[in-house]
Amino acid sequence: MSGNTFGTLFTVTTFGESHGPAIGCVIDGCPPGLLLSEADIQPELDRRKPGTSRHVTQRMESDTVEILSGVYEGRTTGTPIALLIRNEDQRSKDYGNITETFRPGHADYTYFQKYGIRDPRGGGRSSARLTAPVVGAAAIAKKWLFEQYGTVFRGCMSQLGDIVIPFESWDHVAHNPFFAANTTMLPTLEAYMDALRKAGDSCGARIEVVAENVPVGLGEPIYDKLDAEIAYALMGINAVKGIEIGAGFKSVAQKGTEHGDELTPQGFRSNNAGGVLGGISTGQAITASIAIKPTSSIRTPRDSIDKAGQPIKVETFGRHDPCVGIRATPIAEAMLALVLMDHALRHRAQCGDVRVSLPAIPAVIDRAATTD
């Protein structure tokens, strides 16, 4: 499998660069018979798209998606579904000064060393813009998983720079540009971002993502553990530097008597596992958390080198997100959905006729237990 295809059975193959004519993807392995149109996909793309608040890049892209194949009379046919999104607001001239130098912390340098050539316009293929097709593909996965199992995906920002954002309610997430599950902190977040922009600097963020109503039994124990594939999927998002499943790094200081989630006929007592044991879903909520680094394209001058290897000061102008974490929540949900979709199909392949007498233990959805 080459690097640009995600998944084993439900696969997504993307293409495109930030300032090329178009971006998109081919989704293969979708079960037939699913009702599907652009109206199922566009809302997810709209959640991710740029230009929706002053805290993100001001590039104007409608991210209008066109389904090119795989749907007949409103239903999926089982053949590949191609999604096409034309780029509308390329401004290649903004990037003239970037072509000869390498931004500290940016893929500029590694692409050039690997390929001997790079498309410098807007970061080329390394741009976070390339997450749009993935979000589109995941809209299909989300729909199918919801219809099959009632699976629901949610996410929120839980930290912006050094500001921790306490969880109040999922209801808040859709109503602020930060995807914060919180209203009281919003003025603080806005002020923080305004100061950051003024300073010509950038910051990191922490995002949480949760999938509820996941069937028990998804995952392949060695090596395609469900959590291993989630880690792969989330670490593959631009700027991610850390992943936690369930209790994550808190597990280090836990005792076994504390960490192991007790089982009762009424449900699990806690969810330190984050919904995965031995690489297989428990039926509890899948919970994950990611660390997103600060954007490398900043106005503040920094030391670097040019293509001739000479020292140079680099300042980056043009349109950039001062915190890519702000738009990362729908992307993290999308990657999680793709993993679950793929494993739902893989599980059905091998274990489609397994009948277990023991009913699945109810999930205990308890945010206190799962994410704090």
Q: Which of residues 207-236 bind a second copy (CB under 8 A)?
A: 216-225, 227-236
Q: How far apart are CA 85 and CA 64, in angstroms?
A: 6
Q: Determine if 259 is a binding residue for a second copy (CB under 8 A).
A: yes
> Per the annotation, does 319 bind a ligand?
yes
Q: How far apart are CA 334 and CA 239, in angstroms?
A: 16
Q: Determine if 279 is a binding residue for a second copy (CB under 8 A).
A: yes
Q: Which is nearer to a second copy, 151 or 238 (CB)?
A: 238
Q: Which of 41, 107, 132, 341 binds a second copy (CB under 8 A)?
A: 107
Q: Determine if 281 is a binding residue for a second copy (CB under 8 A).
A: yes
Q: Determine if 174 is a binding residue for a second copy (CB under 8 A).
A: no
Candidates 35-43, 53-61, 169-177, 243-251 — which segment interacts with a second copy by CB under 8 A? 243-251
Other beta carbons within 10 Å of 52: 14
Q: Determine if 260 is a binding residue for a second copy (CB under 8 A).
A: yes
Residues β-bridged to residue 101: 306
Q: Return the residue matching tokens 């995965």.
A: 276
Q: Determine if 286 is a binding residue for a second copy (CB under 8 A).
A: no
Closest CA to 240 of 123, 331, 166: 331
User: Which token pair is 188?
Assistant: 């603080």
Q: Which of 47, 59, 70, 214 binds a second copy (CB under 8 A)?
A: 70
192: left (phi over 0), alpha (psi -120 to 50) or beta: alpha
Q: How far is the CB of 106 from a second copy (least distance, A)?
A: 7
Q: What are phi and psi of 47, to 5 degrees?
A: -65, -30
> Per the annotation, does 48 bind a ligand?
yes
> Per the annotation, does 250 bind a ligand?
no
Closest CA to 297 of 281, 321, 276, 275: 321
Q: How far is the CB of 51 from a second copy (least distance, A)?
A: 21
Q: What are phi and psi of 203, to 5 degrees?
A: -145, 165
Task: Determine contact, residues 369/271, Cβ cutoff 8 Å.
Answer: yes
User: Which token pair is 172?
Assistant: 């808040």
Binding residues among 313-342 for a second copy as defined by CB under 8 A: none
Task: Determine contact, residues 297/106, Cβ cutoff 8 Å.
Answer: yes
Q: Which of 11, 57, 329, 370 binds a second copy (CB under 8 A)?
A: 11
Q: Which of 28, 44, 61, 63 binds a second copy (CB under 8 A)?
A: 28
Q: Which of 14, 151, 370, 371 binds a second copy (CB under 8 A)?
A: 14
Q: Determine if 82 is a binding residue for a second copy (CB under 8 A).
A: yes
Q: Which of 32, 43, 150, 166 binds a second copy (CB under 8 A)?
A: 32
Tell me the angle at which helices 38-48 and 328-351 cross, rounded to the nearest 10 degrees.
Answer: 140
Candidates 54-62, 157-165, 166-174, 181-189 — which segment interacts with a second copy by CB under 8 A? 157-165
Q: Determine if 167 is a binding residue for a second copy (CB under 8 A).
A: no
> Per the annotation, does 125 bind a ligand?
yes
Q: Which is nearer to a second copy, 140 or 196 (CB)?
A: 196
Q: How far is the CB of 60 from a second copy (least distance, A)?
A: 20
Q: How far apart are CA 309 and CA 306, in angstroms?
A: 5
Q: Is 222 exposed, middle or buried (0-12, 13-18, 19+ CB in 10 A)?
A: exposed
Rounded to an integer, what is the distance from CA 23 to the centroid of its chain? 17
Rounded to an integer, what is the distance from CA 232 to the centroid of its chain? 11
Candidates 40-48, 56-64, 172-180, 293-301 — which segment interacts with a second copy by CB under 8 A? 293-301
Candidates 49-57, 173-181, 196-204, 362-370 — which segment interacts with a second copy by CB under 8 A? 196-204
Binding-site residue numbers for FMN are 125-127, 238-239, 278, 293-297, 319
Binding residue ranges for NADP(+): 48, 54
